[in-house]
Amino acid sequence: MPLHLLFKSLQRRKVVTALLLIQLAMTFALLLNSILLAQQTRHQLQQPTGLPLQQTLQVQLKPTTNALRQYPALGDLLMRQMAAVRAIPGVEAVAYSNQGPLLQGGNNGNVHDPDREELSKANGVPLYTVSADFFSVLQLPLLAGELPQSEIAVDGSAPSPVVITKSLADKVFDGTPAAGRTVNRGPVAAVVADFYGQRSAGTVNYNSIQVAPLYGVDWGYSLLLRTTPDSTGKVRQALPQVLQQVDSNIEIFYIRTLAEQQQRLYSNEFGLASLLSLLSALMLLVSMISSYSSAYFHTLKHQQEIGIKRALGASKSRIFNELLSENWLTTVLGAMAGVGCALLLNKLLSQVISIPALSWWLPLAACAILLLCVTVATWYPAAIATRVSPATATKTL
């Protein structure tokens, strides 16, 4: 059917067409922005963390008595807990840490080269106090220097050596070798590969680690365990009982794999993307109902007209295509208007949340989805239209 005749047909029901166009445009706008947010969340969850996510378990816990929260009773408790956890079948390595990786925020501070403080300062760097096995548990590749083999007190007479990640070393020492030099927190013993520290930090891969005893754990601490690939679930199940047997004066806040920890880190974004996707699906459903209703009503109201066309020689497939074409045209027009709405919505959303700008291919993808939904919705009314007998035309005579 020629385009101008399709336009003419739409013009005959201006109000209905206008309502449909507005809905399609808004649905298109929401669909586009939902895809964008879902993409962004997926990208965030898939960004490299430098950590073995599935095989590493993090136990967050805290002693419930004052004495156990302080050195030396704390040191003894940690040794007993790690020995017991190491004995669980399937545990390959275990370490303590004042905090785990993949957090929103936590214990952090600035790290700089004391000789050029202003130029080299990195703010909000996560500061870890860990046992020597920390690097083995997280499988952090050593890039330069030598990893400390035993715990040295941070506030002892000899300065406790510091291990920093590659990104931090490059920032503080401007790309020159860092091992053997000194930062404000101590001498740099080694540089390890980047891993995801804290989200609130300026750069998530900046991390500073000191192998040292824990003196106080008023905020709790983490036990990090690496397991064999097939035993993570079993180790996880055994952990509460094993730790309670070591000392019952503890509170276990959670036991998670690092993969779950990463998921939680982006739970807000995941929640919003899920809600928007659900809403987009509802909007598509609403648009399908609209398209169905419009096509169905049109078929009922214009049975005589369809009958005349059939009497004049129009084939069933022509009638079918005519009805579908009308809806396709409405959808394309709605999508064109929807691009403007999508840009506006994107601008509005970017004022309250972080959302990427629209790319050129997304409108095409969203238009394809919309066309598919409209086609499905219009199929049945169009099929009904093909059943209108040419004899219906005689009723108009």
Partner 1 sequence: MEQLFYYLKVSWFSVKRAPLPYMLTVLILSLGLGVFFSNATFYYRMNSDPLPDKSDKLFFPMMMLVPYQCSDCKPPSVLSYSNVAKLAASDIPSAKAAMYSADGYLRQHATQPPTPVNIRITQRDFFTMFDVPLLHGSVWADDQARDELLLSKASAEKIFGRSDVTGQQLLLDDRLFTVIGVLDEWQMLPKLYDAFGRNYLNAAEDIYLPLESGYDYNYLSNRNSSTFDDADYRKLATDGRTKAIHQLQYWVQLDTPAQQQAYRQFMANLVADEKAAGRHPSAEANQLVMMRDIIRYFGGESGDIKAFAIVTLLFLLVCIFNASHLSLNRYLSNQYEFSLRRALGAKRSQLQLQLLVDMSMMSAFTLGGAAVIAYGSINLMNYLWPSNRLFASWDLQLMLVLAALTLICSYLVTLYPSLRASFGSLNKQLKE
289 binds partner 1, rule: CB under 8 A: yes
Scanning the chain, the segments in alpha helix (DSSP H) are 3-11, 14-46, 73-86, 117-120, 134-137, 166-173, 232-246, 258-265, 267-301, 303-311, 316-350, 361-386
* List of long-range contacts for 179-185, beta carbons under 8 Å, 24+ apart: 179/144, 179/145, 179/146, 180/145, 181/113, 182/113, 182/114, 183/111, 183/112, 183/113, 183/114, 183/208, 184/110, 184/111, 184/112, 184/113, 184/114, 184/117, 185/109, 185/111, 185/127, 185/210
- In the shown chain, the binding pattern of residues 300 to 319 toward partner 1, with x for contact by CB under 8 A and - for none, equals xx------------------
Measured from the CB atom, the residue of 67 and 368 that comes closer to partner 1 is 67
Identified binder of partner 1 from the candidate list 38, 169, 235, 345, rule CB under 8 A: 345
Footprint (CB under 8 A) of partner 1, residues 11-30: 15-16, 19-20, 22-23, 26-27, 29-30
Residues 347-366 within binding reach of partner 1 (CB under 8 A): 348-349, 352-353
Q: Is 286 in the site for partner 1 (CB under 8 A)?
A: yes
Residue 190 dihedral angles phi and psi, to the nearest 5°: -160, 160
Q: Is 297 left (phi over 0), alpha (psi -120 to 50) or beta?
A: alpha
> Among residues 76, 146, 174, 251, which is the contact residue for partner 1, using CB under 8 A?
251
Least distance to partner 1, CB of residue 150, Å: 23
Is the Cβ of residue 33 or residue 205 nearer to partner 1 in the bound state? 33
Q: Which of 82, 183, 259, 276 binds partner 1 (CB under 8 A)?
A: 276
Residues that bind partner 1 (CB under 8 A): 15-16, 19-20, 22-23, 26-27, 29-30, 33, 62, 64-67, 105, 155, 215-216, 218-219, 249, 251, 267-268, 270-272, 274-276, 278-279, 282-283, 286-287, 289-290, 293-294, 297, 300-301, 345, 348-349, 352-353
